[in-house]
Structure 1
Amino acid sequence: MSATVLVLVETIGEYLPMLENAGFELIVATTPSARQAAIETHGATIDAVLTRGPLGLTAHEIDALPKLQIITVIGAGYERVDLPAARARGIVVTNGAGVNASAVADHAMALLLAVVRDIPRADASVRRGEWSKVMRPSLAGKRLGILGLGAVGMAIARRASLGFGMPVGYHSRRPRNEAEYTWFADARSLAQSSDVLMIATPGGEGTRQLVDAGVIEALGPQGLLVNVARGSVVDTVALVGALGNGHLAGAGLDVFDDEPNVPESLKALPNVVLTPHVAGLSPDAVKATVELVTQNLLAHFSGRPVLTPVPLG
């Protein structure tokens, strides 16, 4: 397959031979400076771009790639890919919705358990030679609200319901009739009926600060929040305030507004568990994601429909 792919994703190096073995020539540029240099130097030869939601691809960059035919996005989110610019050029966009759902759901439950049982502080105390025992709540039977019942949300719901006996509610744009869980018409009413709010909805302007001060207030002082979606979905200022003044019990966060920059105000809080956007990273998940990217590229450059197209309107 004779096509040149600009790779912007920094977490898939071990699996890039899959693309090379399929016949693609790769230009790997995983830092901002390398990205700019690659587009300036090789822009006229690039046929495809491999990116992820937070890295995106701007209209200016699309304009600088005259041969660009397809943008493939690792993972479900594509919030920083300029879709109108792609549509104007007739460029195909694909994503990897659902491929890493199991890994993300596992991590979401791990964050939740770490917050509920205060695992990080317990671990730190033992390492300091202490034997400090603190009574912590059980997770079993707590009411779980999931914001976004896509592949990740469904995977979380199954783990919580079957593994921990948690009643599950959810909010999405419309009810999923095949789901056995309770639908709520808005995020605030979902939070009000939940002990735990798990965020698994796509990012982008449509969900920006969907979890605002009112939703956090509805969750209440005993409530817990876990975000494995996008930092933009949560009002970080309101979240920090609620965690600091006792209006929210705790949070587990894998995503942030300006990654990799995490506010010092969040780092200083004792009731927060933080991880560096790694929920979707497991060998199985990354391999499956790159396999899907490869199949989408092969389909496109062979004149066949891609497997996971993103609607461009």
Structure 2
Amino acid sequence: MGSERLSVVVTRRLPEAVETRLAELFDVELPTEDRPMSRDELIAAVGRADVLVPTITDDIDAALLARAGTRLKLIAQYGAGVDNIDVATARQRGILVSNTPGSTTEDTADMTVALILAVKRRIPEGLAVMQSGTWQGWAPNAHLGGRISGKRLGILGMGRIGQAVARRAQAFGMQVHYHNRTPVRPQIEQALGATYHDSLDHMLSRIDVLSVNCPHTPATFHLLNARRIALMKPSAVVVNTSRGEVIDENALARAVEAGAIAGAGLDVFEHGVEVNPKLRAQPNVVLLPHMGSATHEGRLEMGEKVIINIKTFADGHRPPDQVVPGNS
């Protein structure tokens, strides 16, 4: 398949350098506005493209894939997560799916630590005081937060990002604990000073901070539910930079409101942009607009991976970041 004839439809505005390179290599359609495509626009796109470049904001489900034309052969996701794509149905229809793993690892891990510090050290509350102009000066009992050195960090999902969070936690003097489907290799565990918990319940009852770093799958939906949140210490906090659906957001909001846990830092939400009003109202909850991977460097790396995946496919080879159904 000649790359000069490959029709590529991009669903969102990407960094200018990425768009320019795509235009050099392929017959590319770029959106004029920076907004998610409507359902009708997505249907039209999959009907005319050889390659679709969607993002996490596009719902590529079985019904949409049924409307795909015979030309569509690759969905090159701009992003590491692919829970917005029905990968199994795509495969059944002869459509490959690729993603951009690794490009968001370090940035998301940085943001995880930033959220831990923001919640534990009450940084947003301090900002609010300074911005309001009401600060009266230093006082011994003002804005007291919690130390993180020596505390137990529980990592839910010890993949690339979970391990990057563990490395940072070590530097802050935290004790690293983790729950995963299977333990990581002994040499990784040793390097991270990490303790494996086969039982998530067991880990939750012993940690001071929980970092959610696992993908959203049917098995992880509401993994942190009301029963499990109730196992945590009243002094514990929850941080999520992965996927909102892993946490029962209503249960979390109730727990924070009741003082059953000490706070939360969230960069992702169960219902997209619809954030639970109870969470918005709590001073010990830090909310960010899905900024975990939002760095110039990370966005460019994601674009480079998309281009490599499409170019490799155009040259007749398997995209290096092809997603296998069941392993996404």
TM-score scaled by structure 1?
A: 0.93
Tell me, yes or no, if structure 1 residue 219 matches structure 2 residue 239.
Answer: no
Per-residue deviation, residues 291-312 of structure 1 (Å, max 9, x unmatched) = 0010000001110121111112
Per-residue deviation, residues 244-292 of structure 1 (Å, max 9, x unmatched) = 0010001000000121121212111111000001101100101001100
Preserved CA contact (<8 Å) 2:248 2:270: no
User: For 1:267, which of 256, 267, 280 is the aligned residue?
Assistant: 280
Partner of 1:25: 28
Distance in 1 between residues matched to 2:66 and 2:16, nearest whole Å: 27
Distance in 2 between residues matched to 1:83 and 1:170, nearest whole Å: 28
Distance in 1 between residues matched to 2:98 and 2:51, nearest whole Å: 11
Partner of 1:88: 92
- Compute the displacement of 1:179 (Å): 2.1
Partner of 1:74: 78
User: For 2:213, which of 183, 200, 204 is the aligned residue?
Assistant: 200
Cα–Cα, structure 1 residues 10 and 217, in superposed 2: closer, same or farther, change >3 Å? Answer: farther
Partner of 2:67: 64
Which amino acid in structure 2 is aligned with residue 58 of structure 1?
Answer: D
Distance in 1 between residues matched to 2:295 and 2:322, nearest whole Å: 24
Preserved CA contact (<8 Å) 1:80 1:204: no
Partner of 2:174: 166
Partner of 2:261: 248
Which amino acid in structure 1 is aligned with residue 117 of structure 2?
Answer: L
Distance in 2 between residues matched to 1:13 and 1:90, nearest whole Å: 31
Q: 1:1-313 counterparts in 2 under 5 A?
A: 1=3, 2-10=5-13, 12=15, 15-28=18-31, 31-32=35-36, 34=38, 36-37=40-41, 39-40=43-44, 42-66=45-69, 67-131=71-135, 133-161=142-170, 163-177=171-185, 178-180=187-189, 181-312=194-325
Unaligned runs of 5+ in 2: 137-141
- Compute the displacement of 1:54 (Å): 4.8
Aligned length: 311
Which amino acid in structure 1 is aligned with residue 172 of structure 2?
Answer: F
Distance in 2 between residues matched to 1:143 and 1:196, nearest whole Å: 6
Preserved CA contact (<8 Å) 2:210 2:238: yes
Which amino acid in structure 2 is aligned with residue 156 of structure 1?
Answer: V
Preserved CA contact (<8 Å) 2:206 2:233: no
Preserved CA contact (<8 Å) 1:7 1:30: no
Preserved CA contact (<8 Å) 1:147 1:153: yes
Distance in 2 between residues matched to 1:110 and 1:34, nearest whole Å: 34
Distance in 1 between residues matched to 2:15 and 2:203, nearest whole Å: 36
Cα–Cα, structure 1 residues 24 and 151, in superposed 2: closer, same or farther, change >3 Å? Answer: farther
Partner SS for 1:225 = strand
> Which stretch of structure 1 is more off in the superposition, 49-58 or 81-90?
49-58
- Compute the displacement of 1:203 (Å): 0.9
Preserved CA contact (<8 Å) 1:54 1:78: no
Partner of 2:139: none
Distance in 2 between residues matched to 1:171 and 1:38, nearest whole Å: 38
Which amino acid in structure 2 is aligned with residue 167 of structure 1?
Answer: Q
Cα–Cα, structure 1 residues 182 and 11, in superposed 2: closer, same or farther, change >3 Å? Answer: farther
> Any runs of at least 4 consecutive aligned residues in structure 1 with deviations exceeding 4 A, and if so which?
10-14, 32-35
Percent identity, please.
33
Unaligned runs of 5+ in 1: none
Preserved CA contact (<8 Å) 1:75 1:98: no
Which amino acid in structure 1 is aligned with residue 106 of structure 2?
Answer: S
Preserved CA contact (<8 Å) 1:71 1:91: yes
> Which stretch of structure 1 is more off in the superposition, 21-30 or 207-216?
21-30
Preserved CA contact (<8 Å) 2:10 2:29: yes
Which amino acid in structure 2 is aligned with residue 121 of structure 1?
Answer: E
TM-score scaled by structure 2?
A: 0.89
Cα–Cα, structure 1 residues 56 and 145, in superposed 2: closer, same or farther, change >3 Å? Answer: same
Which amino acid in structure 1 is aligned with residue 167 of structure 2?
Answer: R
